[in-house]
Amino acid sequence: MKLLLDIGNSQVKYAFLDSGKLTPSQAFPRSKTGIKASLTSQFKQCPHSVESVVIANVAGDKIGQQCSEWIEKKWQITPQFIHSERRRFGVTNSYEQPNLLGVDRWLALIAARQHARVATCVIDCGTAITVDIVTKYGQHQGGMIFPGLTLMRNSLLTNAANITENGPDWSFKTLAMNTESAVQSGTLYTISAALERLISDLKMQYKGRIRFIITGGDALTIKPMIEDKIAHYPDIVLKGLAYYARQRNKPEDDNTDPEEELETETET
């Protein structure tokens, strides 16, 4: 059984790869400064025999080192950390320095491109919102990054006087009756409007031959605000990790596509 870990800035998602198939994913929060306690709590009574661990980590070297130490102590194995590459599984990275593309973005592109008949836009709504395009031929077209909901709200709370989150109501209202809800609605409208404009521009640029995928912790908050057809793939990074886990013992230049397709989770 192979354990796949997607370590983000605020939470960890994971799944097991059993006989080439992904188990349903789970998630747990982690401390900003450490991860060992969270791993111990989550895997103290792990029901599976873990033979290898494959990791995507965007939380920094310190968290990565702590994770390695914990895994080596728990299972006596050295985990494999995935890094962005120039080319893999039919996808070509457009960055001049390929390793500088976030590994979560890289893995999402790998999973999104497989079996796609048109270009694909991946929108990842996490601490930051990232947008990347990959053609049906696997060529990364570049992307963009802008603040996510939490980051945007925290910026207001930190830098604007008299805006706090101590009020009674953080619920969403189009026209708010208190400061907290005003921040909630204002930031959500800002992000959804930016994404709708981007989607409109990309549909024009690609003459409609492009599909849109949304993922990340805030995806289900943002998705209802977007009128365009967009599919929700919550485990797209884990699916990208699964390609590496299946190919672990093959040469680095082996770009053979595994057989499993990216299933549609939700589409409206």
Q: What is the pLDDT of residues 32-68, one digit of tens each?
A: 789 999 999 999 888 778 999 999 999 999 999 999 9
CATH number at residue 58: 3.30.420.40
pLDDT for residue 92: 98
253 located within any domain: no
111 and 74 assigned to the same domain? no
Is residue 265 predicted with pLDDT exceeding 70?
no
259 located within any domain: no
Instruction: Write the CB contacts of 265 (distance below 8 Å, at least 6 apart in sequence).
Output: 231, 232, 233, 234, 235
pLDDT for residue 184: 87
Per-chain mean pLDDT for the chain: 89
98 and 224 assigned to the same domain? yes
Q: pLDDT grade, residue 78 (50/70/90)? A: very high
Alpha helices in the chain (DSSP H): 36-43, 61-75, 103-113, 149-159, 179-205, 219-222, 236-246
Is residue 96 predicted with pLDDT exceeding 70?
yes
Instruction: Write the CB contacts of 143 (distance below 8 Å, at least 6 apart in sequence).
Output: 105, 130, 131, 132, 133
Cite the active site residues: 104
160 and 199 assigned to the same domain? yes
Is residue 263 predicted with pLDDT exceeding 50?
no
pLDDT for residue 256: 45
Q: pLDDT grade, residue 247 (50/70/90)? A: confident
230 located within any domain: yes
Q: Containing domain of residue 177, as a range? A: 87-235
200 and 70 assigned to the same domain? no
pLDDT for residue 171: 57
pLDDT for residue 176: 81
Point out the least confidently predicted range of 17-21, 61-65, 236-240: 17-21
Total of domains in the chain = 2
pLDDT for residue 268: 45
pLDDT for residue 3: 97
Determine what percent of the chain is predicted with pLDDT higher than 90: 71
50 located within any domain: yes
Instruction: Write the CB contacts of 27 (distance below 8 Å, at least 6 apart in sequence).
Output: 11, 12, 13, 14
149 and 170 assigned to the same domain? yes
Determine what percent of the chain is predicted with pLDDT higher than 70: 87
The phi-psi region of residue 152 (left if phi > 0; otherwise alpha if psi is between -120 and 50; otherwise beta) is alpha
Is residue 113 predicted with pLDDT exceeding 60?
yes
Is residue 166 predicted with pLDDT exceeding 60?
no
pTM of the model: 0.88
93 and 215 assigned to the same domain? yes
